[in-house]
Amino acid sequence: MSDVVEKTLTALPSLLSLDSQSGAGKLSSTSKLGGLIRSITELTSKHEEEKLINRELAAIKEQVSSPNTSMRQMKEIMVRAIYCEMLGYEASFSYIHAIKLAQQGSAIEKRVGYLAVSLFLNESHDLLLLLVNTVLKDLQSTNLIEVCMALTVVSQLFPKDMIPAILPLVEEKLTNPKEIIRRKAVLALHKFYLIAPNQVQHIHSKFRKALCDKDPGVMTASLHIYLQLIKENPDSYKDLTGSFVAILRQVVGGKLPVDFNYHNVPAPWLQIQLLRILSLLGKDDQSTSELMYEVLDESLRRAEMNHNITYAILYECVKAIYTIYPKSELLEKAAKCIGNFVVSPKINLKYLGLKALTYVVQQDASLALQHQMTIIECLDHSDSIIKRETLEVLFRITNVKNVAVIVEKMLDFLKLCNDDYTIIDLVGKVAELAEKYSPNNEWFIQTMNVVFSLGGELMHPDIPNNFLRLLAQGFGSEEEEQQQLRVFAVDSYLTLLESDTAHLPQRFLQVISWALGEFSYLKDGLEPCKVTKLLAKLLDERNVTSESRSWILSAMAKLSAGPGAAALALQVSERYSSSLDTVLRQQALELLHLSQDPELHARVLPHGAAWDSFEVDSSLSFLDSFVSEALSQGAAPYKAPHQRQEELRQEKALSLEPYSISLPVSLSSCSITDRQSPTLLSMSSSLSGNSNELKAGSSTLKLEGVKRVWGKEGYLHQQDAVEEAAQVEEAATPALPLSPQQGGAESQQTHGDLTVVEQEKQKLASSLFVGLGSQNSTFLMGKSDSTSQQFRRKTRAADSTSSGVSERSSSSSHSSCSDFLHNNLLEDSQNSLNTQKIGVSNGTHEGPVTQSFQTANGIPEEDGEELGNPLPVIVDSDVASIGTETSKETSPFLDAGMVLVQPCSPQTELRDFVQPGSSGITQTSLRSQFPPELSQLPHSDISLLSSDHSLSLSACRAYRDDALLFVIILSNCSQSSTNGLSVQLDCKQLKVASLRGNALENLPAHSMSVCWYALLMEEPHTQVTVAGSVSYRAVPGHTQTLQFTDKLFLTDFIRPLTLSTEEYGKLWLSFSQDVRQNLKLIQGEGDPLRATLSALKEQLQLHIVDIIGSEGIVACRLLPDSPCLLHCRIHGGSLAVWLRSPLLSLPDCLLYYCQKTLEEC
C-alpha cells in the first residue's frame, strides 16, 4: 500500500504528467488551477480577487462553449469552475457542461463530472433530470468503478420523482458479488427511504437480506435503514432484537476482522448503531429489554476509558440503559460511568457528561445531588456552551424550592446571550418554570417582566397569551390571592410606564396595556385618568406598532368611563379616527362612543364581572334579521373569505398561493383575553398572524426602573427557608449515599475554615439542589412528569374557550403533583387527604384547594355544552364550503369529546374477562359497555392496552364523521374499588380535541367504565403513537399509575369528502402542488379502474366523485378538514395518480396507504 501512497505523492502534481501526455502543448491543468490559486493568494484586496475571478470565469465560459474543447480539457476546466464556486462566485453556465462531462467522459473524467454535478446542483434543480439517463447507463455498466460512481451520486442527490426509474437497478445491486457495490446500494436505498419512503415500501424483505449479508460492511450499512424503520415503528421489529443482541455480542467480543477496528476498538460505529437500535426496541418494553441487559453490561465492562471513541460508545451505552426498561444494577453502573464523564478534566467529556445528566436526572434526580459541586463550577465556566448545558440540567431538576435560584441563573445567562435561537428556547423555559413553580405572586410578576423584556418579539406567542389567561382566570386559589397578583401586575406596570418606555418590546406593551385596562380598577386610590394618561403617552410613542396601538386603544376603552378620562378619550379618538389603519379607526370611534355613553359602557364593559358570565354569540345570530332584510332587498349572500379567494383565483390564470382555510385558525387562536369585546376577534387573529415577526434589536434591551424585589433580598429570604428545608431533608434521609465531593464539602464545613468563595458555592449548592434529596431511591416515575406537562400545554392550546379549571390551578396542581411524587415519603399523609378530595394530589404550599377547582374537575359536562359552542360554527362553515354534507348532523364537537364515565352494573360476568391478557375478554362483552352514541359508530376491534393487578385498559377506535374517537375502556378487576381515577392522553402530533379527559370518579370492584377522546390530525403522519397514563388509588393515599401506548394510522383520520364534479374541479384548481405516482392496477373481471378505485374506497374511506372513461376522480379529507384530491388515470398497465392537497405532506402519506392497500389486494 505504501507504494501507492508514494506513487500518488510523487504524482502530487500528477495531472501535470497527464496533460503532457495529451500533448497539445498548452499549459497543464494543474498549473492552470495552481496558477489561479497562487495568483489569488498573492492578491491583497477582495476587489482584486473579484476582478481576477471574473476574468477567469470569462475564460472558462469561452472554453466550455468551444466545440474544440476535449473531454479531458473539460475535466480540468470543471475543477477550476468548482474552485471559483467554492470562493463564492457563480459559474452556473458550467452546470450543463458538468452533466455533459459525466455523460460523455471516460471513467476518470466522468468522476470529475459527477463531482461537479453533486457540488453545483441542488436536489430540486431542473438540470438534474438530464442526469437520469447517465446514471441509468452507469448503473448497468460492467465497470465496477462506474457503478460505484453512479451509486455515490444517487445517494448524494437525485430527483425524487425519478427514483422509480432507477430503483430496479439499484435493487438488483443488492445481490452483486462485490460487497462494495452491495454496501453502496444499501446506502442509496437508505437515502431513497428518507426522501420517499413510499417508493421503497415493497423491498423490506431485501433489507432483511442485507442485514444477514455475510459481509459485515453491508450488514452495517443496512442498520442505517433499520434504525430509521425502528424509529418509526418499533413494534414491527421486536423479533429482530435477538439478532441485534447477538451481533453486538460478537462485535464487543472482538469477533469481527481487524479491518473494522478503529484505534483497537472493534467496529465502534457499528456498536453505536446497534446500541441505538436496541434502545429504541427496549423502550417501555420489559420483556424485550430483558434480552439486552447482559450485552449492555458487557459493553460497559469491555469499554476501557482510554480513547475518545470508547467514551462515545460508553455514552451511547448509558443512554440505552436509561432509555430501556430500567434495571437497577445496570442503572447504578451507568450512573457511575456518567460520574466519570462529569468530573473529567477533559472539557469535551464534561460536556457530554452534562448532556447525559439532562436525561438521567429526569429518572433519578439524586444523581444531580452527587455532582452538585461540579455543576456549580460548570455554571461559572468560561465556556458558554458548558454553561448552557448546565442550565439544561438545572431546568430538569427544578422544583418549588429551588425555582428562584435556578431562574435567576437562567436570566443571568439570557442577559448576556445574543443568539436568537437560545433566547427563544431559554425564555420559554423560564416562563414554564415560573408558571409551574412560582413561590409567590410578586416573584412571578417580576420574573415574567424580565421574560417579556428579554424575550421581546422573539419569544413564542404562547408565553404572553398564557400569562394573560393566567391573570384573567387566576389560579383557582383564594380570590384574595388572585386579586393580589393582579394588583402586583398593575403596580409594576405603572412603574414601568412612568419611566422610559422606548426600550420595551411590543409584546410586553400589549401585555401591559391589556392588564392595565382590565385590572387597574382593583388598585385603591388609582384614578383611571392617570392610567389613561400613561396609555395616551404610550400611544404617541413613535416606535409603537399599530398592533400595539390597537391593544392600547382597547385598554383605554375599558377605562374611559371614569371622570376625567372622557376628555382624554375624546382627544385620542379625534386623532385616531382619521388614522389610515382601519382597525385603529374603528377602535377610536368605539372609544368615542363608549366614553360619551356611560350606560353603554357599563353594559358592554362591566367592571370585574366574572369572566364566565359572558356569552359570546359567535354565530352572530342577533344579526339574522338584518341579514334576511338585506337579502330580501337583493344583497348577495355572504361568502367566507376563502370562498371569495377561490372565486377570485378562478379568474386568474394561475394560482400561486397554496389553498388556505384561514377562518378556523384565526378563531381558535383567539384567546379568552379578548372576551370582552367581540370586535377584538379580528385583532387577536392579526396578533397571531404577526407573531412571527422577529426584531433582532430587542434582545439586548434591558429592563430599567423595575424594582428587583425578587432579586437579592427576595432571594436571600427564599434561601433561608430553603436551607432549612435542606437540613430537614438531610436529616430525614440519612441513607443518602454521599458523593466524594459532597462528603468532602461537608467535612470542610464542620472544620469551619471555608474560604468565602467556597462558602458561597456551598450556599448556592444548597439552594440549587434542595428538594432532590428525598428521592435517593431510583425514581422510575419521573417520566410521567414530562408527559403530563406536555398534556397540559396541549390542552391549553386546543382549549380556545378555556375550561373551568383556571390555568393557575392546573399549573400549581401539576407542580404539586410532581412534588407529591418527589416527596411522597415525607408528605404522604398530608397529600393523601387532598388527593382523596379531588382526585389529583394537590397539596400546594399556597393553601387549601378551593371550591372552584373541585367543581371544575368534577363536573365536566356542564362546561362542555357551553364550550362546545364556538367550534361547531367553524366546522360548519368550513366543511360546507368544500361541499360536504357531513357537518349537518354533527353533534357539538367538543361535547362528544368529553369524557363520560359510565360505571356499569352487571358485575358478575365481568370477573373473568377483565383479567389481564385473559382470552376471556370478548369483544361483544366489552362492546356492550358502549354508550348508545358510540355503539352506532363503526369501530375497530377492541384490544388490550395495558393492565396491572387491579386495573386493565382496553381501547378501540371509533370513526365519527368529524373526529376519530379513541375509546378507552377501564375495567377494575380487583376485589376493591379504585378511587380518584384520572386518565391522561398525550400525543404531540395530534390535536386532542377533548377538553380534558380526566377526573373520572370511583370505579367499584369488577366494574368498567368507558371514556373517549376526540382526536384530529392536523399535520399528516403515516402513523402516530399516542401515549397516556391512568392514575388511580386502589389503597387510600397510594396513587398508582398505569402507562399505555397505542398506535393510530393516517387512515383512521381519513374520511370521504363528498362533492360534485364541479366542486372538485374548483377545488383542484385552487391547489397548485402536484404529487404523481404510479400505482398497481387490480386486474380482475370487469373494469380494472373501477375495481381499483373501489378497493381504495373500501379500505381507505375515499369518495369516488366520478369515473369518466379511463379516468377517475376521488376525494377525501383528513380530519378535521384538509381535503386531498386524487386524479387517477389508466396509463399503460398501471394507474397514474395525481394528488393535490393544501397540506404538502398529505399526498405522500396517503400514497403510502394506497400502495399498501393495492399490494395487499
From 26, 51, 178, 1131, residue interacting with other proteins (rule: CB under 8 A): 178
From 64, 77, 81, 112, residue interacting with other proteins (rule: CB under 8 A): 112
29 binds other proteins (CB under 8 A): no
650 binds other proteins (CB under 8 A): no
558 binds other proteins (CB under 8 A): no
Q: Nearest distance from residue 47's CB to other proteins, in Å? A: 17
Residue number with CB closer to other proteins (14 or 264): 14
Residue number with CB closer to other proteins (422 or 1134): 422
135 binds other proteins (CB under 8 A): no
Sorted by sequence, the CB contacts under 8 Å of residue 448 that are 6+ apart come out as 431, 434, 467
979-986, strands of its sheet edge to edge = 979-986, 1023-1035, 1038-1049
> Alpha helices, DSSP H only, in 562-661?
565-576, 582-596, 598-604, 624-632, 641-651
453 binds other proteins (CB under 8 A): no
Rounded Cα distance between 616 and 670, Å, is 12
Q: Nearest distance from residue 710's CB to other proteins, in Å? A: 28
SS3 label, residue 930: coil
268 binds other proteins (CB under 8 A): yes
Residues numbered 222-241 forming contacts with other proteins, rule: CB under 8 A:
224
Q: Nearest distance from residue 178's CB to other proteins, in Å? A: 8
Contact 1029, 1043 (CB under 8 A): yes
Contact string (CB under 8 A) for other proteins, positions 31-50, x = contact: --xx--x-------------
Residue number with CB closer to other proteins (314 or 999): 314
Rounded Cα distance between 1159 and 1155, Å, is 6
SS3 label, residue 264: coil
188 binds other proteins (CB under 8 A): yes
Sorted by sequence, the CB contacts under 8 Å of residue 761 that are 6+ apart come out as 373, 376, 377
Residue number with CB closer to other proteins (41 or 755): 41
696 binds other proteins (CB under 8 A): no
Buried b (16+ CB within 10 A) or exposed e, 786-825: ebbbebbebbbebbbbbbbbbbbbbbbbbbbbbbbbbbbe
Residues numbered 349-378 forming contacts with other proteins, rule: CB under 8 A:
349-352, 355
305 binds other proteins (CB under 8 A): no
Q: Is 375 exposed, middle or buried (0-12, 13-18, 19+ CB in 10 A)?
A: buried
Residue number with CB closer to other proteins (259 or 1085): 259
Q: Nearest distance from residue 678's CB to other proteins, in Å? A: 39
Residues numbered 803-842 forming contacts with other proteins, rule: CB under 8 A:
none
DSSP element (H, E) containing 222:
helix 216-232
DSSP element (H, E) containing 1126:
strand 1122-1131
Sorted by sequence, the CB contacts under 8 Å of residue 1109 that are 6+ apart come out as none
Of 397, 393, 388, 395, nearest in space to 423 by CA: 388
Handedness of CA 817, 823, 825, 831 (dihedral sign): negative
Q: Nearest distance from residue 6's CB to other proteins, in Å? A: 8
C-alpha cell, 44: 491583497
Stretch that binds other proteins, among 256-264, 671-679, 777-785, 969-977 (CB under 8 A): 256-264
Contact string (CB under 8 A) for other proteins, positions 478-517, x = contact: ----------------------------------------
Q: Nearest distance from residue 318's CB to other proteins, in Å? A: 11
416 binds other proteins (CB under 8 A): no
Q: How far is CA 957 from the centre of its chain?
A: 24
Q: What is the DSSP string of 50-101?
A: HHHHHHHHHHHHHHHH-TT--HHHHHHHHHHHHHHHHTT---GGGHHHHHHH
From 22, 156, 440, 915, residue interacting with other proteins (rule: CB under 8 A): 156
247 binds other proteins (CB under 8 A): no
Stretch that binds other proteins, among 419-427, 455-463, 480-488, 783-791 (CB under 8 A): 419-427
From 65, 143, 928, 975, residue interacting with other proteins (rule: CB under 8 A): 143
66 binds other proteins (CB under 8 A): no
3-state DSSP of 406-427? HHHHHHHHHHHCCCHHHHHHHH
Residues numbered 72-111 forming contacts with other proteins, rule: CB under 8 A:
79, 82-83, 86-88, 106-108, 111
Rounded Cα distance between 487 and 481, Å, is 10
Q: Nearest distance from residue 81's CB to other proteins, in Å? A: 11
Q: Nearest distance from residue 403's CB to other proteins, in Å? A: 24
180 binds other proteins (CB under 8 A): yes
From 44, 45, 66, 124, residue interacting with other proteins (rule: CB under 8 A): 124
Residue number with CB closer to other proteins (3 or 1062): 3
Residues numbered 190-229 forming contacts with other proteins, rule: CB under 8 A:
190-191, 194-195, 217, 221, 224
Contact 197, 168 (CB under 8 A): no
Give the residue carrying C-alpha cell 385498559.
953
Q: Nearest distance from residue 9's CB to other proteins, in Å? A: 5
First to last CA, the chain: 56
From 28, 103, 134, 155, residue interacting with other proteins (rule: CB under 8 A): 155
Contact 230, 277 (CB under 8 A): yes
3-state DSSP of 1013-1049? EEEECCCCCCEEEEEEEEEEEEECCEEEEEEEEEEEE
8 binds other proteins (CB under 8 A): yes
Total residues binding other proteins (CB under 8 A)? 80
Contact 1020, 1149 (CB under 8 A): yes
Residue number with CB closer to other proteins (385 or 716): 385
Q: Nearest distance from residue 79's CB to other proteins, in Å? A: 6
Rounded Cα distance between 846 and 477, Å, is 8
Contact 1158, 1092 (CB under 8 A): yes
Q: Nearest distance from residue 52's CB to other proteins, in Å? A: 15
From 385, 631, 648, 825, residue interacting with other proteins (rule: CB under 8 A): 385
Stretch that binds other proteins, among 27-35, 528-536, 689-697, 983-991 (CB under 8 A): 27-35
Rounded Cα distance between 713 and 404, Å, is 12
251 half-sphere exposure, CB direction, 13 A CA radius = 30
Stretch that binds other proteins, among 348-356, 455-463, 920-928, 1022-1030 (CB under 8 A): 348-356
Q: Nearest distance from residue 1025's CB to other proteins, in Å? A: 17
Contact string (CB under 8 A) for other proteins, positions 1043-1082, x = contact: ----------------------------------------
396 binds other proteins (CB under 8 A): no
Strands 991-992 and 1008-1016: antiparallel
Rounded Cα distance between 366 and 777, Å, is 8
1136 binds other proteins (CB under 8 A): no
C-alpha cell, 45: 484586496
Q: Nearest distance from residue 46's CB to other proteins, in Å? A: 12
Q: Nearest distance from residue 1000's CB to other proteins, in Å? A: 36
Q: How far is CA 154 from the centre of its chain?
A: 31
From 93, 262, 614, 626, residue interacting with other proteins (rule: CB under 8 A): 262
